[in-house]
Structure formats: C-alpha cells, structure tokens
C-alpha cells in the first residue's frame, strides 16, 4: 500500500540543551544537510504558533516547559506528503501546484489542531482543547533525483502553555497523527484526482509516468536525534 503521508515523532531528552540548539539551528539555516541558508538576509523560517519565531526563543520557551518527569525537553514532528504525487500535481493542476506551500501550512495547522483536540478536557461548558504552543518550518529541497521533497518540521514543548499538563506521545498517538495527516493531505492536495489522471495516461506519455517517475526518497533532511 502506498504511503499517503510520512509522519514521525521525535524528542530530545530533558537537559540536552546543546542537542536542542543543534536541531533548531539546523532547521533554521538549512533545507537539508547540504543546502545552507545565510544567517544574514535569509528568508523568514519559523511560523510562530506560540513557541517562538527563531531558534533562541523556541529553545528558551521549550526549556521553561521542560518535563523532567518524562525526561523530555521538546518534541518534533516531521510531516511529508508523498512527493511523487505532489510532483505530478504540477502537470495535473498547475494552480494547486503553485499553492503547494500554502497548502502545506494548512496541513500542519490541521494536524496540530487535531493533536490538541484529541488531548482536550471535558468541561461543563464543552470540550476544551489542550493549549499547546508550537512553531514550525517548511523545507522543500530536491532529492537526489531532482524531485522536490516538500515537508515540515514542527517543534512542541513537553508541557502545555501553562506547564500544567504533559504533552506525551504514545504508540497510538503516532498512528493517529499519521491518519489525520493522510486524510488532510488527500483533501487539501486533491491527490485522488492526481492518481486518477495518472492512470488515464499511457506509460511514457510524460516525464512523470510510472515508467519515468523517480522513486520517492524517505530520507528527509533531519538532524540526527
């Protein structure tokens, strides 16, 4: 079965501030292990959803919400849609292809919204989602075959905004995160239409047919935790 969207959770243990700094600066200044972004005059990297707009702010805020009980300084989520289907989008729907970064932003926000909803608490007035600050970057390097690998790195603290409730990740959460990401990827990028169009085309008709399409790379440029 084809993987509809790659996701995985990582974490950095409590007290490992040097490793956290290495991860955050890597995400801020690189698209992958080779593509360096100048420290001065580079593009805005982080989307601040409450945790910070640069690596220093993110590290400081994560340190404030460190969870010694679960030995967690911060968590990181990688989200990567299927790059072969996203690449085909350029021919099937050029307008949607041009909006792929905006769609990626919405994908991240929908996934994180689901994370907070799932950990909500029932109150007399209704369900209250977890208040979890986070920040993220979107990278889009080309893989070794020259195919763009659009993906996001999300950073969260180990506790909620008030430092009262832990943000834990269990095996069932890993699967639920992936299910949400797959569903939202299909909806936002309309990938079913991409696959239907691909089936209609004869092999070899264009450079993105099954016969010509480079194999997808699951080696996402990510700091080694």
Find the largest Cα–Cα distance for the chain: 60
Give residue 1's pLDDT. Answer: 46
**Calpha distance 196→191 (Å, rounded):** 9
Give residue 201's pLDDT. Answer: 67
Sequence ranges of the domains in the chain:
6-200
Asked whether the beta carbons of 54 and 136 are under 8 A apart, the reply is no
pTM value is 0.84
The radius of gyration computed from the CA coordinates of the chain, to the nearest angstrom, equals 19
Distances, alpha carbon 101 to alpha carbons 15, 189, 194, in Å: 34, 11, 17
Q: Could you state, in chain order, the average pLDDT of each consecutive group of 10 residues for the chain (225 residues)?
A: 80 97 92 55 77 97 97 97 92 93 98 96 88 96 91 98 96 96 95 79 49 37 39
In sequence order, what are the residues at sequence separation of 6 or more whose Cβ sits closer than 8 angstroms to the Cβ of residue 118? 173, 176
Type and span of the H or E element at 122: strand 121-123
Give residue 219's pLDDT. Answer: 35
**Calpha distance 76→43 (Å, rounded):** 21
CA 4 to chain centre: 14
**Calpha distance 79→97 (Å, rounded):** 18
17, two tokens: 């501030």
Cite the DSSP H helix spans in 80-170: 83-92, 94-98, 100-118
138, two tokens: 């979107």
Give residue 30's pLDDT. Answer: 78
Residue with tokens 């009262």: 164
CATH of 6-200, one of 3.30.70, 3.30.530, 3.30.930, 3.30.1450: 3.30.930
**Calpha distance 54→58 (Å, rounded):** 6
């Amino acid at each position: 079965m084809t993987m509809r969207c790659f996701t995985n959770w990582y974490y950095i243990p409590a007290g490992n501030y040097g490793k956290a700094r290495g991860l955050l600066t890597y995400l801020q200044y690189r698209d992958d292990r080779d593509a360096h972004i100048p420290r001065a005059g580079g593009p805005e990297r982080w989307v601040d959803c409450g945790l910070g707009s640069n690596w220093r702010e993110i590290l400081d805020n994560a340190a404030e919400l460190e969870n010694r009980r679960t030995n967690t300084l911060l968590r990181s989520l990688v989200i990567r849609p299927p790059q072969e289907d996203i690449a085909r989008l350029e021919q099937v729907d050029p307008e949607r292809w041009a909006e792929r970064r905006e769609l990626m932003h919405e994908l991240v926000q929908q996934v994180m919204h689901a994370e907070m909803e799932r950990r909500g608490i029932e109150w007399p007035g209704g369900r209250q989602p977890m208040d979890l600050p986070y920040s993220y970057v979107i990278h889009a390097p080309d893989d070794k075959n020259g195919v763009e690998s659009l993906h996001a790195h999300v950073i969260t603290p180990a506790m909620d905004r008030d430092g009262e409730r832990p943000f834990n990740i269990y095996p069932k959460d890993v699967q639920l995160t992936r299910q949400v990401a797959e569903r939202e990827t299909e909806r936002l990028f309309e990938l079913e239409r991409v696959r239907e169009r691909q089936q209609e085309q004869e092999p070899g008709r264009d450079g993105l047919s099954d016969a010509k399409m480079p194999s997808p790379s699951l080696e996402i440029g990510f700091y080694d935790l």
